Structure 1
Amino acid sequence: MAGVGPAPILFNEFFQMFMRCMPPNGWPVNSKIAVGNSGGPDSTCLLFLLNMLLTDLRSKAMARQSIPTSVVSLSVNHNLQETSQLMAARSASNAEAMGVEHLTLDIPWGTPPFSAKPVAGQPVEQVAREARYHVVFNGMTHTGAHSVAFGHHADDQVETSLMRLARGTTELGAGGMRRCRRWGMGTGDVEGGLGWVGHHGLNRWIVRPLLEVRKDRILATCEEHQLDYVNDPTNFQPEITLRNAIRKMLTLQEEGKDMVIFISDAYPASLTITQSALSGLPQHIASSLDKIKVAAADLQDTPMDLTGGIHQLHGAVKVLSSRLEDVDNEVTFHLKNLTLPSPPSTLILSSHALPAVVDPTVRLAFVLRVMRYVSFHPWGSMRADGNRRRTSIQRIIDTLWQFDGAPPFTAGGGVLWQPAIFSAKKRLRVGTQCLGRQLQPGERFAWMASRLPAVPYHVLDTATLPPKLDVDVTERLATAINRGNPSLEVLFDCRFLVRFDLSQVPEELVDALRKYQETGVNVRIRPHTKFYWPKVVLRQPSCPDTIHATLLDDGQIGTFGRAPWVSMEYIRLLDAT
């Protein structure tokens, strides 16, 4: 008697999967969700299920629930392979057959901010990924989508976990992709550059409803509903990408083919694949496969046994993913208990309460969360996490959790760590003056995390600063005023959102800005105070600078008696995602 095949995904089941991906503040009312549609089985299945779900809920007048009300299909034409046009066309036809709005996004290689089309020998996978995410975000903006859903599934999750192990990730990284995460500010530091999305990315989400579903169930769903799709032939060529090589390796191991055991001092009881099984791989891919085998066996709490193939790894990766969620929750709990009232853009942590955080993994996640909050690098980028360099992060942990204090230091991420003495009634003391000092009643030792200064505070007003710290907004203001725009938003130092209410701009300044090239008027955002808070400065020929707005210690805006046409908000987040 033949065995029962994998079951297709039921609609009620998918509804639960989808709701587990809901952003922390819920789905916005009347929002639209995009689906990254490649034309393959995973995204075709996801688009079908999501469209059917939203259609069914609308028909039952259940749209009052916090769910998106419509879906849009986005496909990317990389134009890197002969099949690119075919897959883009299949994506469009599938969406049309389902009655779903569709947009095909072509990557304009060679047109800034996109590089020239990558060729053999270049890191094609990374370049294509950055370009793909850039145009997908633009597609979300164009169609008004609040979130984008990707068809990543449980098999992809295993592959991602192993890829991260090859890069030397911690247990946190081995947990793989999250079901729901913010887009973030992007991968680039240059406004308008490839990967840059700025503050808009803090309110956009990536969701993966199928993340715990195995590939065979997705294929069964496509078969059950007679969904037409196309397979990307490059997904099965192990010499092209590390992901493909991992996929091939796991298939071979599951089938028990071409496996040998070897014992060595460096890699005891490790597994390797014979030359005949995966021959002709580039050296960097072959080397990464060897690193995976060692790192998978070395995971402390949940070692991963590669010998049984991908199906045996599902459970281990699911445990790691669950562990990641538990760590996130524990870090959130400790931050609430440890954080003291802090000046804007800083975080003050009570030293005497830090020993309550015992788990090394939680300590690691705790430090990374604080760095991401304080850093001037784009929120969500690896640079904001100090590139997750193990030695640097461990130095921070060792210093913060010691009991005898330490002088100010930095260990990456653009974050300065300083000892502090906190008192609810007296002024805050920060820096070396706190070392060796006896506490007075009502005082406690603490650590302050703040932005790493670019130049010493005493020369801040006269020093030449990088463009991101000396932002000329004159042209943008003039253009917005001439167009009749009601407001203008400017991200300053990847930390503050400065808003200009153009209906409140003083009339004399409006007139000067309309002719700024003639009048020489210049409006800039520059930092002030040792924490690099923003101030809006007006410069005019033969006149001293005039400060129009500045952030004050209590987080309020000082406008010096002028109309409140400028507001400022610190927008970094302490959230895990």
Structure 2
Amino acid sequence: MTSIVARRGQSYLAATRRAPYRHASTIAPAPVTPAEFTEHLLRCTPPGGWRDSIAVANSGGPDSVCLLFLLSSVLRERKAKQSDTAGTFPVTVHSIHLNHGVQAANAQMESVAASQAKRFHVPHIKISIPWTTQSQSGKPKDQITEEYLRRARTALLYMAISKLPTRCLAYAHHADDQVETSIMRLSCGSKDWGASGMRPVRRWGMGESKDLYRPHLRGMQTWIVRPLLDIPKDRLIATCEANGLEYVVDPTNFQPDMTIRNAIRGYLHRREVALQTSPAINDILSIPQNWKERGFEDAIQNLCPGRSTLTHLRSAVSHLGKQLELHEVQATSALNRAVLPSPPSTILLSVDKLLGCTEPQTQTAIARRIMRYVSPQPWASLAAIGHARVASSQALVSLLWDNSRTLHSLRTFTSGGCVMWQAISLGRDGEIKYRLPEPHEPLLWLGQRAPPPAGKVYNLHFNVTERLQAALQRGQPKFTCCYDNRFSISIHLDARQYVKVKNMVWSLPEMLEKGKIIIRPKATLYLPEVVWERNGEEDCLLGYYRPTKKPRSLQWTGVPWVAAYFARPLSML
């Protein structure tokens, strides 16, 4: 199937005359105005405000071309008015196009993406999956899958924005995409949390072990925004047509056998046509034609029972998203009351303060937030929240909201996300006591990293000597690494850095030549310790101690040119 190009003055209906899956509509949709888009953009503002620049993933399709047009128009208008946009809005926008190189239409999409960026006076870069040499994972081109393409796309887009003066990437996912995502997740067994669809703003995260490129700590400061999630597809098309924008309709979007999302899109179209053209249809379940479509219809009925149209489904998913945000806000308030000071990478909770939170959805939000905070699994990965299994979050909810104090309820417990829980008490001086609380003492739970499996603790030992030597040779001012997906460890690189051992002064190059620098876990909390090992001896470059005035806190100690901090936030984003 060849690509379909809508050029200036040509309607989407004319351009898609060969595309069978356009949602039916009886009322002409209104274009999105810059003022309306501004409101949607503000709702996507990352915590701390916008940086100077934002990048758009520009496929050359109508959605991303529309997003690039609206974003560039708003920013250009504010610049012309000399509005103060510091932190409130981005100042500049970049366009990034990824050529997958797997179909004939990709060259045309690349050309249109570049031409539209040029028309909007937006800096544009193009990248390609390097099939001609070797793919990112070494897979031959004829063995690619949709999952592989997704991971390749994510990796290459991140590497592209890392070279730009931005830490924010905007996607053009819209309200119809939200409906498809919700149905896809529900048909795979998700509950309300998954059915609420994509978030308008979220951290990029640390990446997962299967990813082709993992951003680690940099991903924690990088944001993904989706300003169009509340806007239907037909209004984006109307915006393109009203402003004479050129775009390419990807023909693979209309091939139901290619992806489950395509199959859902095709079923929604046929269902919408049936509902609008045959008002006498009483049995909505007669529309599905196979077992897969029956699963889609079951998901739709779960989301919005009855003869629900696409408009109803959009509203239902939007409502779920707003409810989720409300529960997250309530979870933040409850955690602010219940969290007590504790060592880094741990969380200490007062059960008495949690009991006031009785809403099940908020309890689930708290459980997932805690797992993600303490877990050694990559932040934002499903593994960090127990693979989003209901059983994982409910097991933790049952533990934290149980004040019965029976021996069974106070047992040490490992929840999803590799987080271990134990009931503890506090001494008179506030020191943590690893014993069960007495009846007159408050019930407290300490969550910490679970011990690695037997024989796997050495997986947390890292020799960074060669990496430090290479960084020194390149003239890097600082070496930074992510330890156990939990800590950022930085070593300032300067030949003048030294350590004094037994009245002898060793410079950093000498230390690297005579021995090795190791990062390893220490004690039961698995906090990082940086040591210099040589000839059977070792000296601590970074460790921690417990100050007497603040018994529940830990402070780092060691040489001034080695530092560490806990990198995982407890916030909702």
Q: For residues 536 and 449 of structure 1, what CA distance do their matches in structure 2 show? A: 24
Q: For residues 35 and 94 of structure 2, what CA distance do their matches in structure 1 show? A: 21
SS of the counterpart of 1:143? Answer: coil
1:34-73 to 2 correspondences below 5 Å: 34-66=55-87, 67-73=89-95
The 1:259/1:181 distance shift into structure 2, 3 A limit, reads: farther
* Cα deviation code 1:143-170 (max 9, x no counterpart): 2221011111111111111111122112
Q: Which residue number in structure 2 is paired with residue 333 of structure 1?
A: 333
SS of the counterpart of 2:35? Answer: helix
Give the letter aligned to residue 436 of structure 2. C
Give the letter aligned to residue 331 of structure 1. A
Q: For residues 328 and 171 of structure 1, what CA distance do their matches in structure 2 show? A: 13
1:494 aligns with 2:485: yes
1:446 counterpart (439, 444, 447): 444
The 1:386/1:17 distance shift into structure 2, 3 A limit, reads: same
Give the letter aligned to residue 525 of structure 1. I
Following superposition, the deviation at residue 260 of structure 1 comes to 13
Following superposition, the deviation at residue 262 of structure 1 comes to 13
Moved more, 40-49 or 59-68: 59-68
The 1:356/1:297 distance shift into structure 2, 3 A limit, reads: farther
Contact 1:261 1:272 in 2 (8 A): no
Q: Which residue number in structure 2 is paired with residue 394 of structure 1?
A: 394
1:153 counterpart (170, 174, 184): 174
Q: For residues 261 and 355 of structure 1, what CA distance do their matches in structure 2 show? A: 51
* Cα deviation code 1:441-490 (max 9, x no counterpart): xx42111110001268xxxxxx76344x1111111211222222221111
Following superposition, the deviation at residue 399 of structure 1 comes to 2.2
1:225 aligns with 2:243: yes
Moved more, 17-26 or 401-410: 401-410
Q: For residues 262 and 445 of structure 1, what CA distance do their matches in structure 2 show? A: 58
1:81-160 to 2 correspondences below 5 Å: 81-109=103-131, 111=134, 113-117=136-140, 119=142, 124-160=145-181
1:473 counterpart (443, 456, 464): 464
Q: Which residue number in structure 2 is paired with residue 213 of structure 1?
A: 231
1:406 aligns with 2:402: no
Q: For residues 190 and 428 of structure 2, what CA distance do their matches in structure 1 show? A: 40
1:549 aligns with 2:547: no
SS of the counterpart of 2:248? Answer: coil
Q: For residues 127 and 259 of structure 1, what CA distance do their matches in structure 2 show? A: 41
Q: Which residue number in structure 2 is paired with residue 505 of structure 1?
A: 497
Contact 2:490 2:564 in 1 (8 A): yes
* Cα deviation code 1:223-276 (max 9, x no counterpart): 11100000000101111111111111111111117999999xxxxx8725353x
Task: Give me the TM-score of the superposition, normalised by structure 2.
Answer: 0.87
* Cα deviation code 1:482-509 (max 9, x no counterpart): 2222211111101000111223621723
Q: For residues 412 and 113 of structure 1, what CA distance do their matches in structure 2 show? A: 31
The 1:241/1:363 distance shift into structure 2, 3 A limit, reads: same
Q: For residues 272 and 107 of structure 1, what CA distance do their matches in structure 2 show? A: 43
Q: For residues 292 and 242 of structure 1, what CA distance do their matches in structure 2 show? A: 10
2:50 counterpart (18, 24, 27): 27
Give the letter aligned to residue 111 of structure 2. A
SS of the counterpart of 1:551? Answer: strand
Contact 1:174 1:317 in 2 (8 A): yes
* Cα deviation code 1:91-132 (max 9, x no counterpart): 112112221111111112474642414647x6x221111110
Q: For residues 86 and 376 of structure 1, what CA distance do their matches in structure 2 show? A: 44
Q: Which residue number in structure 2 is paired with residue 167 of structure 1?
A: 188
The 1:423/1:42 distance shift into structure 2, 3 A limit, reads: farther
1:250 counterpart (247, 254, 268): 268
Give the letter aligned to residue 556 of structure 2. I
The 1:172/1:537 distance shift into structure 2, 3 A limit, reads: same
Give the letter aligned to residue 544 of structure 1. E
Following superposition, the deviation at residue 510 of structure 1 comes to 2.3
* Cα deviation code 1:1-56 (max 9, x no counterpart): x976211111111111111110121113xx21000000000000000111111111
Give the letter aligned to residue 487 of structure 1. K
Q: For residues 390 and 151 of structure 1, what CA distance do their matches in structure 2 show? A: 30
Q: For residues 61 and 200 of structure 1, what CA distance do their matches in structure 2 show? A: 32
Report 1 or 2 for greater relative contact order, CA contacts < 8 Å, sequence distance ≥ 6.
2
The 1:369/1:148 distance shift into structure 2, 3 A limit, reads: same
Give the letter aligned to residue 30 of structure 2. A
The 1:3/1:382 distance shift into structure 2, 3 A limit, reads: closer
Give the letter aligned to residue 557 of structure 1. W
Q: For residues 196 and 411 of structure 1, what CA distance do their matches in structure 2 show? A: 25
Contact 2:130 2:136 in 1 (8 A): no
What runs of 5+ residues in structure 2 fail to find an aligned partner?
A: 1-24, 499-504, 547-552
Q: For residues 63 and 40 of structure 2, what CA distance do their matches in structure 1 show? A: 15
Q: For residues 259 and 567 of structure 1, what CA distance do their matches in structure 2 show? A: 68
Contact 1:261 1:270 in 2 (8 A): no
The 1:357/1:500 distance shift into structure 2, 3 A limit, reads: same
1:236 aligns with 2:230: no
Contact 1:260 1:272 in 2 (8 A): no
Give the letter aligned to residue 104 of structure 1. K
Task: Give me the TM-score of the superposition, normalised by structure 1.
Answer: 0.86
SS of the counterpart of 1:497? Answer: strand
Moved more, 197-206 or 57-66: 57-66
Following superposition, the deviation at residue 177 of structure 1 comes to 0.7
* Cα deviation code 1:260-293 (max 9, x no counterpart): 9999xxxxx8725353xx7xxxxxxx53x43343
2:208 counterpart (176, 184, 187): 187
Q: For residues 516 and 180 of structure 2, what CA distance do their matches in structure 1 show? A: 52
Aligned length: 529
Q: For residues 300 and 425 of structure 2, what CA distance do their matches in structure 1 show? A: 43
SS of the counterpart of 1:92? Answer: helix
Contact 1:63 1:69 in 2 (8 A): no
* Cα deviation code 1:190-210 (max 9, x no counterpart): xxx614110100111011111
Following superposition, the deviation at residue 416 of structure 1 comes to 0.5
Q: Which residue number in structure 1 is paired with residue 561 of structure 2?
A: 565
SS of the counterpart of 2:506? Answer: helix
Moved more, 477-486 or 162-171: 477-486
SS of the counterpart of 1:75? Answer: strand
Give the letter aligned to residue 252 of structure 2. T
2:436 counterpart (427, 434, 437): 434
Q: For residues 26 and 299 of structure 2, what CA distance do their matches in structure 1 show? A: 35
Q: For residues 202 and 244 of structure 1, what CA distance do their matches in structure 2 show? A: 31
Q: For residues 160 and 104 of structure 1, what CA distance do their matches in structure 2 show? A: 27
What runs of 5+ residues in structure 1 fail to find an aligned partner?
A: 264-268, 279-285, 457-462
